[in-house]
Amino acid sequence: MKEFRGSYSVNVTPFTADGSAVDLEANRRFLDWQIAQGVPGVILLGTTGEFLTLTDAERATYVEDSVAHVAGRIDVLVGASNAHTPTAARYAREAEAAGADGLMIIPPYYYTPTEDEILGYYDGITATCGLPIMLYNNPFTSNVDMSAKLVGRLTRTFDTVRYIKEASMDVARVYDIVEETDGVMNVFAGERIVESFLLGAKGYVNPFGNYIPRASTRIWEMLEAGRIEDAKRIQRHITVIEHTIAEGHPTYGHQCYSKALAAAAGYPLGDVRPPLTQFAALGAEGEARAAKLKGIMDEMDRLMDELESKAA
């Protein structure tokens, strides 16, 4: 099975200016930039990628075009989540047929399924698709918090379930999962980057790769190199970005500002689709917050120049 390691960007989905279609040309430019910045892998159609707003035809074309354009230069994982097990399994098979390297799959949302139902869901997917699966534990969007014991059960039951994005906000869960699975499960941090690494995480899934891919990639490389204090300096800037975004209305979120900040970095990707509030609708408030965030991005660039010159 292919090994995933490092800081993977969970990408926004670029839309045309009117939001009516996926902008494949903008996406290719965007992927090339991320690859040039050293990103080891991207994850398409996660929460940040507004996966619920795409038609089946759009997602199939987007995945096929992205995988073909990347052409093996980095890993491409695809979100294959759905509340209907056969649909999730079909999405998984389509990603496999397109040449994706892996999947990221959250438990079925809305229904608040039991542990046995969650097991049945992943059974239905793994029965027809052989790609490695990254579980996605995000109780805030799925209304399900997968305990370490449940993760252990899934790990022991399915040979292709060997990764998890742990985003429960309980950083100790990283350690609990590693212990429960005897180190077989590879945990990817969903937040608290430095702390997760120190507790045994093998990688990081982050939305910041949409506009600061250099920093959000190097932070994990520095951790692996033992440069813990340097990584903490990067994390402090990322935390300021995160808190600045969170000051707004909750539905503004990473999708809205990620696209605005990617545009500020030179890669316009359109706006979000309804029901999310569009950046254009935020007016002066959004412009002021984006300007503040752009200033932090500029500070981050200067910090990265300093940290990289130290290693030269």
Q: What residues are labeled active site?
A: 136, 165
Strands (E), 13-101: 41-44, 75-79
Half-sphere exposure (CA, 13 Å, Cβ side) for 151?
Answer: 33
CB 41 within 8 A of CB 76: yes
CB 110 within 8 A of CB 143: yes
Q: Which helix (H) or strand (E) holds 166?
A: strand 161-166
Contacting residues for 154 by C-beta, under 8 A, at least 6 apart: 118, 119, 122, 135, 146, 161
Q: Residue 90 and residue 110: Cα distance in Å, rounded?
A: 20
CB 45 within 8 A of CB 13: yes
Q: Residue 138 and residue 278: Cα distance in Å, rounded?
A: 24
Q: What are phi and psi of 307, to 5 degrees?
A: -70, -35
CB 178 within 8 A of CB 200: yes
